[in-house]
Amino acid sequence: MTVYLSFSDLRKAKQQPDAETETEGAADGADGADTSAGAPGGISPTVRVASARVSSVVIALGIVSMFTDISSEATAAILPLYITGVIGLSTVAYGFIDGLYQGVSAIVRIAAGYAADRGDQPKWVAMFGYGISAIARVGLLFASGFAALTAVVVVDRLGKGARTAPRDALIAASSEPSSLGRSFGVHRMLDTVGAAVGPLLAFVILLFIPDGYTTVFVVSLAFAVLGVIVLGIFVPNKRPRAERAAGDGRPAPFRWKHLGDPRLTRLLLVAALFGSVTIGDGFVYLVLQSRGAFAAEWFPLFYVGTNIAFLALAVPFGRLSDRFGSARIFVIGHVALLGTYVLAAIPVSGALITIACLVLLGAFYAATDGILAALASQCTPVAARASGIAAAQTVVAVTRLIASVGFGLLWYTIGRTEAVMVVAVILAVLIPIAAWLLLGAKGRSTGGPPHDDVPAAVVAADATSDSPPLHDEGRAEPAE
Amino acid sequence: MTPRLKWTIVVVAAIVLLGGSLAYAISAFLRFQAVASTAGERSGPPLTAIEPGQIVFRSTDPGTEYGHVASVPIGAPGAARAVAELTCDRVDASAALVSCLRTQRGIVTRFEWQVLDERFDARWEAPLPGVPSRTRVADDSSYWASTAFVTGHTYATVGFSTATVIVGADGTEYGNLEDFAFTVNGDSVTSVDRNFWGVTFVPGTDGFFATAAAGGRTWLVRGDLGDRTLVAIHDAVECPSLSPDGERIAFKKPVGEAPTKTWTIAVLDLATGEEVVLPESRNVDDQVEWLDDETIVYGLPRAAAGDSDVWAIAADGGGEPELLIEHAWSPSVVR
């Protein structure tokens, strides 16, 4: 039932409403079928021919993320100014708000992944996450004082924790396995466009209206609500498990043992190893900033620079991952991270080094953020996909948090440049180990091109469970 | 739902939501323009030079003078204010120098630090890594210092962190205080969350005082620019301010624990270690300033966002706070 559309097809769909009216009466989203903009008949099914098409569902989810990120990043960018300059709270309180959210976010993420699998309703769990973040924006209009602001920020971040894994599961469910990397790349590109536009929009508003914080919050609310509406209307309620059941007649309920797949275990291990040497971007920026006048002057632009590199490279890396395997690209992304550390640590400063460093950091995100979700979905049966993605993302989030604290210690004990060097050396040692774990000996291939042969061990494992063969899972039933 | 209906709903929603936001933004812009173009009621002649005997401050009077540096005579704080061209978020002045921290609004907001002479001619400048917090010029004009919050662009990627930098009038840049050797009871402190802020200089020396924080505790530290050391000398002191006679430190004293932490004003006698908490019940989040050896002045926010007043209180704890200058912030007494 799934029809894959490219960007141009989506545009065409907009311009040809008449053609689409033929789909009236087509199954509604609620019954598990995909009613994305061009159902069969509306647009020539030949659009499926190329395997590298990206589903309109993925594009719709990307647009939802873009609006939501414009909303959240516009607020986040001005929040320090607002808290210290307008509400008159100190930044100590601000740091507290930040720390508070970190802890709860991980638990929410796992719970949301589980809820999405258990109920087989990823869309509605994601909707809940986007929805409560939008409601938090309403709170921002009325919040004054510390307690109110804390509540708003926590609710917003809980929403973010809740929506990520179910949304990524929807992306996986809406994509051809052979173009999964590209789908995630397109999604992350749109998402990052929002992250880059949001702060700029906020600062433009403040440029014209210096006391216009409320205006920023109003605009932010509008984008958040629009995102939720697009999600509600354009994203079908894919029910991966029900679809499978319809396909082969075997129901495949969620089982915890689905998460015991050795490939997922290896992926989680690698994610933990890498996460534990991924220091916060803030630290990288601080090292750069302390090194020269150029970097100090452009410090506030670092975040934007990294995002531009991320959004420009997300799709190319996604395509490469479809071609050469997501595991390979995931490892290569960490080589880019290694390059970031080395450039940050070498005692040479200058505009070029700074820019190269930011580009590599953006490349790291482009090659790992969406790719991790793609890998996790390739390593988990359909029935447990959101949980698998949530597990991988949580492992990364938690280990990165620990890494940042540990790195902070190192930073003050041995000095900033030395600390970065130490982390770079550990990362350099970990990269071949991770490569061996993910790509190593035959039969252990994790997240290789999904159309590869299914490893024997996995087939054997599958034979004993009620889950379908792993490599089919992302593919919807043959059209027609 | 047909695709046409879906698109209609989304397009209508987009027009309503984004159009509504735009309308709100335009009305906010017009409102701001109307207020900003009204001349302040309290302004007098232009301020062209800093002189001893002035209180220099940031005017928060809504109107054309908002954000500008202004001054009133120490003896007549209620008089019409002289307003300068210069705009600052935080300002401090000595007889020969003005230190000004500023938010440079733009597509990407940046922060800068400028030091000018007494006639407002630029003398030195540097970018700041984040939101301006404190600035001080030594009364003898030999050093200047600033503190900025270093915040990431997401919800504080690096958490709370300050960058405090000291520069000498001879051009020597002493760098961030984090690179100074910091000791508490003789033990070197190298913990993760080390932070320093709120410098106050000891005129005629290479010494200064500042706040140090680590592991949830704060200290008053005595710093030395000669050997680049910071030594903790007292607990729970934030944003110190040395009295003109050099004998006492006025500071904001933490009350309660984070996140509901607030501050009140206290005065520490450096010779005896005796502390007097002043009868100011409101939350004072400012680096206070000495009007003279008996009186302390400080800013307090008003209900209207972005506006504030400067208050005065007796340093010995023997009197209630009094409103000194309306619509003002960041007071600095020029000696």
pLDDT score at A188? 96
Q: Do A85 and B21 touch (CB under 8 A)?
A: no
pLDDT score at A106? 76
Q: Rounded to whole angstroms, what are the CA distances from A92 to A254, B150, B162, B237, B262?
A: 43, 12, 10, 15, 11
Place of tokens 């002189």: B51
Is B3 at the interface with chain A, CB within 8 A?
Answer: yes
**For B113, which residue in chain A has the nearest alpha carbon?**
A297
Q: Which of B239, B119, B231, B245 is nearest to B182 (CA)?
A: B231
B108, B130, B157 ranked by CB distance to A203: nearest: B108
Q: Do A37 and B29 touch (CB under 8 A)?
A: no
Residue of A20, A141, A215, A358 for testing the chain B interface, max B β-carbons within 10 Å: A215
Instruction: Compute how many other C-beta atoms are within 10 angstroms of the C-beta atom of residue A343.
Output: 24
Q: What does chain A come to in residues?
A: 480
pLDDT score at A84? 67
Q: Which of A155, A144, A141, A138 is nearest to A100 (CA)?
A: A155
Cα distance between residue B192 and residue A458, in whole Å: 45
Asked if pLDDT for residue B218 goes beyond 50, the answer is yes
Chain A residues whose CB is inside 8 A of the B109 CB are 81, 203, 206, 300
Cα distance between residue B161 and residue A207, in whole Å: 26
Cα distance between residue B113 and residue B69, in whole Å: 14
Chain A residues whose CB is inside 8 A of the B306 CB are 85-86, 211
B7: part of which helix (H) or strand (E)? helix B3-36
Residue B145 β-bridge partners: B136, B166
DSSP A40: B
Q: Tell me whether the omega of the peptide bond preceding residue B3 falls within 30 degrees of 0, making it cis.
A: no
Cα distance between residue A260 and residue A257, in whole Å: 5
> Which residues have C-beta within 8 Å of that of residue B79, sequence separation ≥ 6?
B44, B72, B73
Chain A residues whose CB is inside 8 A of the B153 CB are 73, 76-77, 199, 300, 303-304
Is B19 at the interface with chain A, CB within 8 A?
Answer: no
**For A406, which residue in chain B has the nearest alpha carbon?**
B192
pLDDT score at A2? 36
Give the CATH number of domain A56-245: 1.20.1250.20
Is B15 at the interface with chain A, CB within 8 A?
Answer: no
Residues A284/A338, Cβ–Cβ less than 8 Å: no
Q: Is B199 helix (H, G, I), strand (E, B) or coil?
A: strand
Lowest-pLDDT range, A14-18, A176-180, A225-229? A14-18
Copy the structure tokens of residue B57. Answer: 């401050």
Copy the structure tokens of residue A360. Answer: 């590599």
- pLDDT band for A206, please (50, 70, 90 cuts): confident
B29, B149, B176 ranked by CB distance to A91: nearest: B149
Residue of A12, A81, A294 for testing the chain B interface, max B β-carbons within 10 Å: A81
Is A47 at the interface with chain B, CB within 8 A?
Answer: no
Whole-number average pLDDT of chain A: 77
pLDDT score at A14? 37
Is A282 at the interface with chain B, CB within 8 A?
Answer: yes
- In tens, the pLDDT along B32-67 reads 888 888 877 777 889 999 999 999 999 998 888 889
Cα distance between residue B176 and residue B126, in whole Å: 13
Is B194 at the interface with chain A, CB within 8 A?
Answer: yes
Cα distance between residue A28 and residue B286, in whole Å: 60
Q: Rounded to whole angstroms, what are the CA distances from B220 to B214, B230, B268, B289?
A: 12, 9, 10, 16
Q: Do B157 and A209 touch (CB under 8 A)?
A: no
pLDDT score at B260? 65
Residue of A98, A144, A228, A290 for testing the chain B interface, max B β-carbons within 10 Å: A98
- Range list of H helices, A82-238: 91-119, 122-142, 146-173, 180-208, 213-234
CA distance A140 to chain B (A): 15
How many interface pairs between A and B have CB atoms less than 8 angstroms apart? Answer: 194
Is A304 at the interface with chain B, CB within 8 A?
Answer: yes
Tell me the average pLDDT across B171-186.
92
Chain A residues whose CB is inside 8 A of the B131 CB are 80-81, 84-85, 91
Chain A residues whose CB is inside 8 A of the B157 CB are 280-282
Residue of B12, B66, B124, B154 for testing the chain A interface, max A β-carbons within 10 Å: B154
Chain A residues whose CB is inside 8 A of the B7 CB are 14, 17
Residues B113/B101, Cβ–Cβ less than 8 Å: yes
Q: What does chain B come to in residues?
A: 335
**pTM, entire model:** 0.76
DSSP A7: H
Q: Do A92 and B133 touch (CB under 8 A)?
A: no
Is B185 at the interface with chain A, CB within 8 A?
Answer: no
Is B180 at the interface with chain A, CB within 8 A?
Answer: no
Lowest-pLDDT range, A2-16, A363-377, B14-28? A2-16
Is A207 at the interface with chain B, CB within 8 A?
Answer: yes
B90-93 and B97-104 strand pairing: antiparallel
Q: Which of B110, B150, B308 is nearest to A206 (CA)?
A: B110
pLDDT score at A53? 75
Copy the structure tokens of residue B153. Answer: 């662009």
**Domain edges within chain A:** 56-245, 256-459
Is B23 at the interface with chain A, CB within 8 A?
Answer: no
Q: Rounded to whole angstroms, what are the CA distances from B54 to A37, B77, B240?
A: 70, 9, 22
- In tens, the pLDDT along A120-152 reads 899 999 999 999 999 999 998 887 777 777 788
- In tens, the pLDDT along B267-318 reads 999 999 999 999 999 989 889 999 999 999 999 988 777 789 999 999 999 9
pLDDT score at A445? 46
Is B34 at the interface with chain A, CB within 8 A?
Answer: no
Q: Which of A438, A440, A447, A455 is nearest to A270 (CA)?
A: A438
Give the relative orientation of helices A262-275 and A456-463 as an angle to the nearest 10 degrees: 120
- In tens, the pLDDT along A413-462 reads 787 788 899 999 999 999 999 999 998 744 444 444 443 333 333 333 33
A240: part of which helix (H) or strand (E)? helix A240-248
- In tens, the pLDDT along A240-271 reads 777 766 665 555 667 777 777 889 999 999 99
Q: Do B193 and A206 touch (CB under 8 A)?
A: no
Q: Do A211 and B306 touch (CB under 8 A)?
A: yes
CA distance B244 to chain A (A): 27
Task: For A215-234, give one letter per residue: b (16+ CB within 10 A) or e.
Answer: bbbbbbbbbbbbbbbbbbbb
pLDDT score at B128? 87
Q: Do A28 and B133 touch (CB under 8 A)?
A: no
Residue A361 corresponds to which amino acid?
L
**For A206, which residue in chain B has the nearest alpha carbon?**
B105
Q: Name the percent of chain B lying above pLDDT 70.
A: 95
Q: Which of B156, B322, B249, B302 is nearest to A101 (CA)?
A: B156
Asked if pLDDT for residue B157 goes beyond 50, the answer is no
Residue A138 β-bridge partners: none
Tell me the average pLDDT across A95-118.
76
DSSP B316: T
Q: Do A212 and B21 touch (CB under 8 A)?
A: no
Copy the structure tokens of residue A136. Answer: 């938090």
pLDDT score at B206? 95
Whole-complex ipTM: 0.73
Q: Rounded to whole angstroms, what are the CA distances from A24 to A33, A40, A417, A479, B9?
A: 14, 11, 63, 19, 16
Tell me the average pLDDT across B211-216.
85
Residues A387/A118, Cβ–Cβ less than 8 Å: no
pLDDT score at B314? 97
Is B110 at the interface with chain A, CB within 8 A?
Answer: yes
pLDDT score at A279? 86
The CATH-assigned architecture of domain A256-459 is Up-down Bundle (1.20)
Residue of B155, B282, B284 for testing the chain A interface, max A β-carbons within 10 Å: B155
**Are A56-245 and A256-459 the same fold in CATH?**
yes
Residues B291/B280, Cβ–Cβ less than 8 Å: no
Q: Name the percent of chain A lying above pLDDT 70.
A: 72
Is A138 at the interface with chain B, CB within 8 A?
Answer: no
| Chain A contacts in chain B segment 248-277 (CB below 8 A) | 258-261
